[in-house]
Amino acid sequence: MRESAIVRAALAALVLLAGGCGGQEENAPKAAPEAASAPRTGVWFNGDFESGTLGGWARDSARRDSIVVVEEPVRRGRFAARVNLETGDVAADKERVELKLGDRSLERERAANGREVWYGWSLFVPAAFEDPPEGTFQIVAQWHHRPPPARREGASAPVSGAPPLTLYLARPT
């Protein structure tokens, strides 16, 4: 793998290594639960990979092995997802590896306008991570809060725009 591919792979590996994400309709917890399987009220989706599978998630990647469940590293519990992006891995129109809710009706039902929903996930930066080249940045995670524009109810045409949350690592000039 070329050096730039290693950087991209390391960045992509950050996305879901330490656990999953989910939604919660109550106030956000002040701290993470002690155990991955700790019961929580009001949780409508828990994508923490503790089943040892990608259950509940839909994969959008060029290669099937771009997203796999691993036993280490993990933040808590027994499993995490490892995401790997290599140069040339084009899914849809760009180099990307994404996980999406497998059942999009959950998102439409629970994250409707006017409802309070909390999401959380962990991000792991490997010690061997190399900074992006000077004056550039690498996106390591984006969070979209709604179904893809073409599927949004009432939309007459696809609506595009930046996601409301993007995490990136940058190296200023």
Q: What is the 3 state secondary structure string of the chain?
A: CCHHHHHHHHHHHHCCCCCCCEEECCCCCCCCCCCCCCCCCCEEEECCCCCCCCCCEEEEECCHHHEEEECCCCCCCCCEEEECCCCCCEECCEECEEEEECCHHHHHHHCCCCCCCEECCCCCCCCCCCCCCCCEEEEEEEECCCCCHHHCCCCCCCCCCCCCEEEEEEECC
Q: pTM value?
A: 0.62
Residue 50 has pLDDT above 90, yes or no: yes
The per-residue pLDDT for range 91-107, each reduced to its tens digit, is 877 888 888 877 766 66
Domain positions in the chain: 3-29+38-129
